Amino acid sequence: GIVAFTFFKLVKGLTLPGTSIILKGEDLGNPAGAFYLYALVGILSIVWGYFYIPETKNVTLEKIEEHWREGKAPRKL
């Protein structure tokens, strides 16, 4: 939870200040550029989530904890 929060806070902190300039200044870009940047961040987030967030349906908390303590890969859960 904390790692995911920190990751998304970092992404937001790096993208929002730059895109606010794009949205406000006509000579610096246009709103379409900000849209493409947000779309890229969204697509990268989906890909990252697919590989690093395990499926936990019908898995007990004890099994999940044991999995992480053993240091196994997320997709192996």
Exposure class string for 24-54: b at 16+ Cβ within 10 A, else e: eeeeebeeeebeebeeebeeeeeeeeeeeeb
Q: Supply the range of the domain harboring residue 7.
A: 2-76
Chain segment 8-32, per-residue pLDDT in tens: 888 888 877 766 666 666 655 666 7
| pTM (whole model) above 0.75 | no
pLDDT given at position 46? 92
- The count of domains in the chain is 1
